[in-house]
Structure 1
Amino acid sequence: MARSELARFLRDRREGLPPGAAGLPSGPRRRTPGLRREEVAELAGMSVDYYVRLEQARGPRPSPRILRSLAGALRLAPAERTHLFRLAGVAPEPPAGPPREVRPYVAGLLHRIPGTAVVVTAAGYDVIAWNPLAEALLGDLGSRPNLARRRFLDRDEVLTTGHEDFGEIAVARLRAAADRYPRDRALAALLADLRAGSAEFDEIWATNPVRAPGHRTKTMTHPELGRLHINCDILTVPDDDQQVVFMTADPDTPTARALHHLATHVA
């Protein structure tokens, strides 16, 4: 175990994590913007002495349980979590499940591009953040947030183009998520429902499609606005295994005018 490298990694992450990002009040009289050792120890459920020894490269080899606790306390991204395990000489464990919290800088994107409907999806296609225009375009995202379930089970979105493409893209992403998060019960339950309830999903699953996110165009029928031609562009957030989906229309088209009308209405 590279104790000095592990100690440096822990110290750097602690000093670089603002209290607010760890769910703690900032409070007055802080000498540095990061967390104190005592705070990390409390968040990780270990003694202060043990944590101090780890930061001073004097501690014993941490167990997987200790490393999981430290990763959670320091809010490590998946790549950082894997790096922590490797520094400790422990085989990295698969994460318990896909991250379902949206980072503030990602959430800010939802409201910075006028006239654009934006959603953020987790690895299992749960919509975990959206702006008002996206909900007006796609319907109630609060009670029906999973796009794969909508696509294969609800069948309520009438698509005349792009429908088959999204089916293969969704299956490819869900297969990758199943490999990365084998212990996630919510994801396992979703896959079981999709395979049992949709012959189409099961058939695509068997082909093991390899598809990457990118630019797509689809035509959808909105209950109030009629037929819309929508451009979908994806921004990936690799650290959290999430995707930001931007839905726009070509300028000076009926769809662009319809989206403008919808955006004005929801505003």
Structure 2
Amino acid sequence: MTRTITAVLALVLLTVLDIHASVLQHGKAVHSTVYDNLIFETHLLVILQNVPSALNCICMCGQFNECLSLFYDKPNKLCRLHNVMVFSNADGVTSPGWTFYRYGESGCPFHLGFISNQEGLCVYLAVSSIYTYEEGQHLCEARNSRIITLETAEKRQAFQNLMNKLLENDDLYPLINGKQFYLGLKHDGSGWHWKSDESIQEEFIWGSGQPYCPSAPCACMTAFQIWNWKWNDISCSESHKVVCEYTGHLLK
């Protein structure tokens, strides 16, 4: 539920030293012009009043575990915190003076189209088209990234949480719903190896009826949305969606 906070600044805002400590602890926000001069009522966590600067607004976002983006209105000293980074354009209402920031770890290159979540993923969504595994690999490498790898239960859960959150976006829903996404996991004839560190995957999160590949060698793997992101072994020549994981900032 949206809450409007009108408490005294001394009780709500941080001191200058605390602000810088918060930025170091929680990461930082990067300005993106994509939603400037707009406001959104969807996915709104809180509205803060009497916030003296964008830096204060950024630091307040760091105090909310679910905060992923923020809007700041400097003339009116207003700060709006949201729990998504990507909005449906149809939900935006023109409101001059608002500046949009994506909040996340400092190593995630938002200016290149990457997004992040509070669980540490930093990814680029290649969802407007489909790619073979090799094409997806080249696309990611061109962005200093790789096809996402899910070596641990923590990363698998973070990926699932991110994708399910993106499904709530009206613009992204048809691009994600019912689709398969390549994983950076390949079979080399002796076993399934993650492309991040060549570690062998021994525990498989198989979808219904898998593994099953009657028509061609299946050396690649996808995560399938209709199976709640469980896995499907496929031919690497099939074309599917891709999520690139930024290699400069990886969840361990």
Q: Indicate whether the TM-score tops 0.5.
A: no
Give the number of the structure with larger relative contact order, counting CA–CA contacts within 8 Å between residues 6 or more apart. 2
Larger % of strand: which? 2
More helix by share: 1
Q: TM-score, length-normalised on structure 2?
A: 0.31
Higher alpha-carbon Rg: 1
> TM-score if structure 1 supplies the norm length?
0.29
